């Protein structure tokens, strides 16, 4: 590919901007007295005021808020940085347009044995509500619809053995979390 420029190679845009800025500053300095320049420098220093914290926590999800709370309680200064315009991390719900119904858009369930995360949500003011699993459920596999009751969908025996092993492994992993 060949690059063709319309301007002489000795004049670059950044040079032109720098020269213009230097000229403007020289003109301003010539018209301003030493007191004006000192006052302007003082205003700039005030605007550049920095904040210092012992700890910076990145993310205002449950983990970030918990860490920030513990750090604050331990007597350290802390700031939480969050990229979104809300707290909660992956815990997020939204009302459906024109309705009072809520749809979950993030973390949805805390089940039996997850008492600590539920206590944490309560402490942090995260609203929770009971879910239900009464009645029949629907299971789709390979284009076939099947209703069933209970917690586990119908499957072949080998899949059930694998599912049980996975559930045991997940429960063991969850039991290791403090």
Q: What pLDDT, in 10s, does the model give residues 136-161?
A: 888 877 888 888 888 777 777 888 88
Mean pLDDT of 22-27: 51
The C-alpha torsion from 153 through 155 and 159 to 164, rounded to 10°, is: 40
Who's near 153: CB < 8 A, 6+ residues apart? 137, 139, 146
| Distance (Å) of CA 30 to CA 40, 42, 105 | 14, 19, 60
Question: Is residue 174 within 8 Å of residue 113, measured between CB atoms?
Answer: yes
pLDDT in tens, 58-69: 998 888 988 999
Measured distance CA(3)–CA(25) in Å, rounded? 35
pLDDT grade for 85, boundaries at 50, 70 and 90: confident
Residue 44 has pLDDT above 80, yes or no: no
Measured distance CA(58)–CA(40) in Å, rounded? 35
Retrieve residue 48's tokens: 């550049």
Measured distance CA(165)–CA(69) in Å, rounded? 37
Element at 72 (helix H, strand E): helix 62-73
Measured distance CA(63)–CA(35) in Å, rounded? 51
């Amino acid at each position: 590919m060949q690059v063709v420029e319309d301007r002489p190679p000795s004049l670059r845009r950044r040079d032109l901007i720098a020269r213009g800025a230097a000229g403007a500053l020289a003109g301003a300095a010539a018209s301003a007295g030493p007191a004006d320049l000192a006052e302007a420098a003082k205003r700039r220093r005030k605007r550049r005021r920095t904040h210092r914290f012992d700890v910076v926590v990145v993310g205002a999800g449950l983990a970030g808020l918990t860490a920030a709370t513990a750090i604050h309680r331990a007597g350290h200064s802390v700031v939480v940085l969050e990229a979104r315009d809300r707290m909660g991390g992956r815990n997020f719900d939204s009302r459906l347009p024109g309705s009072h119904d809520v749809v979950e858009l993030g973390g949805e369930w805390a089940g039996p044995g997850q008492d600590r995360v539920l206590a944490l949500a309560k402490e942090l003011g995260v609203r929770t509500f009971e879910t239900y699993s009464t009645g029949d459920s629907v299971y789709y596999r390979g284009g076939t619809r099947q209703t069933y009751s209970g917690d586990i969908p119908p499957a072949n025996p080998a899949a059930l053995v694998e599912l049980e092993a996975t559930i045991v492994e997940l429960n063991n992993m969850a039991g290791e979390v403090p």
